[in-house]
Amino acid sequence: MSLLINMRNPNKNYDLIVVGAGAAGCLFSRNLARADYSVCLVEKSDRNALSHDWWDVVATYIFDKVDINHPESDELFKVGNFIFCSPLDSIQVKIPPFEETYNIDRRKFTTRVLNEAIENGVNFYDNVNVIGPIVNEETHTIIGVKLDNSKTIKAKLIVDCSGYEGVIRSNIPFETDFDKNIRREDTSIIYREIRKKLPSVSDSHEIVFVGKNQGISWVSFHQDNYVDFLGGHTDLSSIKISPKEMVYELIEKYKNKCGTEIVMGGYEAPIPLRRALDSFVDNGLLIIGDAACQVDPSTGSGIASSLYAANIASNVALNALEIDSTKKEDLWSYNVEYHRSELNQEYSSSDIAIKNFFNLSEEEVEYMFANDIMDLRGVWGSGDRAKIIKKEKYRPKISVRSKILAHLARFAETDSKIEEMKEFCREYPEEYNPETFNAWREKMNNCYIVRYDSEEPPESELIIS
């Protein structure tokens, strides 16, 4: 539905405006509409093109936690075994499927949640391009959104679910408690392309290349009819190959197993690859999902965490609207509950380990494979995500590889920070106080200083116990 053509009163004020009809935006909108609040949900894409057109892994527990029916059969894709390969493809390690997860069709699932939102009274408008917030300059409050045709919509509460771009977050003209822009080093660029599987192919595993081009790439034969290719790495200028080129190297290697037509994907997408923002709120504003960097840093997947955050945020919004106040301090409990959660503790503590991992050279990752000192489930978002190095097997000795060992020793040091990071999450300030919050933020930032150093380590660091 086009907003300007179909809205009878384009100047109507709503209780809430939600920008972005991904799974989180739709769930949040549904929950508020159920409580009889007027919700305007706007989406820049067409209703038939919501979310990515591929599948993603989601933990099964999240559906009960956020009161959404588990995926239906037509929303599910198969899961299977994995083969993890070293960067030079000289070592391969087989891993069974991850337990208690679904492989869901993102588009079909998001459409189902959208339909639930509309059935509960949400006013949904697609093909609407929001370009930024409307701000009360005196009170530093977000009071509405601007459209690209010079029109505006106002509401008591604005919710930014617009993904990586964060169209509201990134265009706020005053100082905030969160990063308004996502740094390049906190961004992963992926290219994914899905083709038809040739009838003669019986392969049913997924081959994952770890650490090649300081990133991840895969070719997956899990599905009966498709071959799934992906390439991705952090957005660093030192990497000379693009994610698409990574994929086409794989396609050339496996061209006898797939057709030539692209049936899904076929485009690049940026995703945040970092811990969640330090705050998700401001006066009149909530931020949810990729816009808030609520993702698993080990995989970039954000469906489960976005739904979890949307459920928390919707309860906080209900309370704020009940007392007719959307000031920062009245929305703060959203920050507290999410940041202190076990989910966020897990993701936050894995952030530095993952960043350090993708700074390792191919030779260093190859060494980790060869000596079985890497926990591949930690790299891939399962088990103890933050402990990528198997400490019980890490007993390096001085050798011609001393420089590699010294770098890996620094990498292993991140283990000592894990519990400290989790403790900081549990200590998130209960109430909004600028002094207390800034002190907490400084502690977190100091804890997350990347400890890996690509320069040659000093001689003293070559003696490793």
* Residue 415 identity (one-letter amino acid): D
- Quickly state the pLDDT bin for 231 (edges 50, 70, 90): very high
Dihedrals phi, psi of 130, to nearest 5 degrees: -85, 135
- State the Cα–Cα distance between residues 23 and 109, nearest whole angstrom: 8
pLDDT at site 89 = 87
- Quickly state the pLDDT bin for 442 (edges 50, 70, 90): very high
- Quickly state the pLDDT bin for 351 (edges 50, 70, 90): confident
- State the Cα–Cα distance between residues 178 and 132, nearest whole angstrom: 17
pLDDT at site 463 = 33
- Copy the structure tokens of residue 99: 């337990």
pLDDT at site 367 = 85
To the nearest whole number, what is the mean pLDDT of the chain?
87
- Strand-pairing partners, residue 209, are 85, 217
How many secondary structure helices (H) and strands (E) does the chain include?
A: 13, 18
Write the DSSP symbol of residue 44. S
The secondary element (H helix, E strand) that includes residue 11 is none
- State the Cα–Cα distance between residues 227 and 251, nearest whole angstrom: 10
pLDDT at site 415 = 63
pLDDT at site 451 = 45
Selected residue with higher pLDDT from 417 and 197 = 197
State the average pLDDT over residues 156-173: 97
- Quickly state the pLDDT bin for 30 (edges 50, 70, 90): very high
* Residue 227 identity (one-letter amino acid): V
- State the Cα–Cα distance between residues 436 and 419, nearest whole angstrom: 21
Question: Taking a C-beta distance cutoff of 8 angstroms, is the pair 390, 374 a contact?
Answer: yes
- Copy the structure tokens of residue 357: 């991992």
- Quickly state the pLDDT bin for 45 (edges 50, 70, 90): very high
- State the Cα–Cα distance between residues 202 and 227, nearest whole angstrom: 11
* Residue 278 identity (one-letter amino acid): D
Question: Taking a C-beta distance cutoff of 8 angstroms, is the pair 282, 334 a contact?
Answer: no
Instruction: Look at residue 319 and tell me whether its pLDDT is greater than 60.
Output: yes
- State the Cα–Cα distance between residues 109 and 75, nearest whole angstrom: 6
pLDDT by residue (tens digit) across 296-309? 887 788 999 999 99
Question: Taking a C-beta distance cutoff of 8 angstroms, is the pair 307, 68 a contact?
Answer: yes
- Copy the structure tokens of residue 344: 């966020």
State the average pLDDT over residues 28-41: 98
pLDDT at site 361 = 83
pLDDT by residue (tens digit) across 102-125? 999 999 999 999 999 999 999 999
* Residue 99 identity (one-letter amino acid): E
Which residues are CB-contacts of 236 (< 8 A; sequence separation ≥ 6)?
184, 185, 214
Measured N-to-C along each axis, helices 434-447 and 418-426 cross at an angle, to the nearest 10 degrees, of: 170
Question: Taking a C-beta distance cutoff of 8 angstroms, is the pair 247, 230 a contact?
Answer: yes
State the average pLDDT over residues 197-217: 92
User: Looking at the chain, how many residues does it have?
Assistant: 465
- Quickly state the pLDDT bin for 3 (edges 50, 70, 90): very low
pLDDT at site 407 = 63
Low-confidence winner among 1-15, 59-73, 85-99, 176-190 (lowest mean pLDDT): 1-15
What end-to-end distance do the CA atoms of the chain give, in Å? 65
CB atoms within 10 A of CB 340: 14
Dihedrals phi, psi of 285, to nearest 5 degrees: -140, 135
Instruction: Look at residue 456 and tell me whether its pLDDT is greater than 50.
Output: no
pLDDT at site 398 = 39
pLDDT at site 381 = 56
Model's pTM, two decimal places?
0.91
Torsion (CA) 110, 163, 130, 285 in degrees, nearest 10: 100
- State the Cα–Cα distance between residues 263 and 449, nearest whole angstrom: 42
* 3-state SS assignment for residue 234: strand
- Cα–Cα–Cα angle for 312, 316, 319, nearest 5°? 145
pLDDT by residue (tens digit) across 376-413? 766 665 444 445 666 555 554 434 455 666 666 666 66
CB atoms within 10 A of CB 124: 21
Instruction: Look at residue 455 and tell me whether its pLDDT is greater than 70.
Output: no
- Copy the structure tokens of residue 380: 């891939």
pLDDT at site 4 = 41
Secondary structure E strands in 213-334: 215-220, 226-234, 258-272, 281-282, 285-287
- Quickly state the pLDDT bin for 414 (edges 50, 70, 90): low
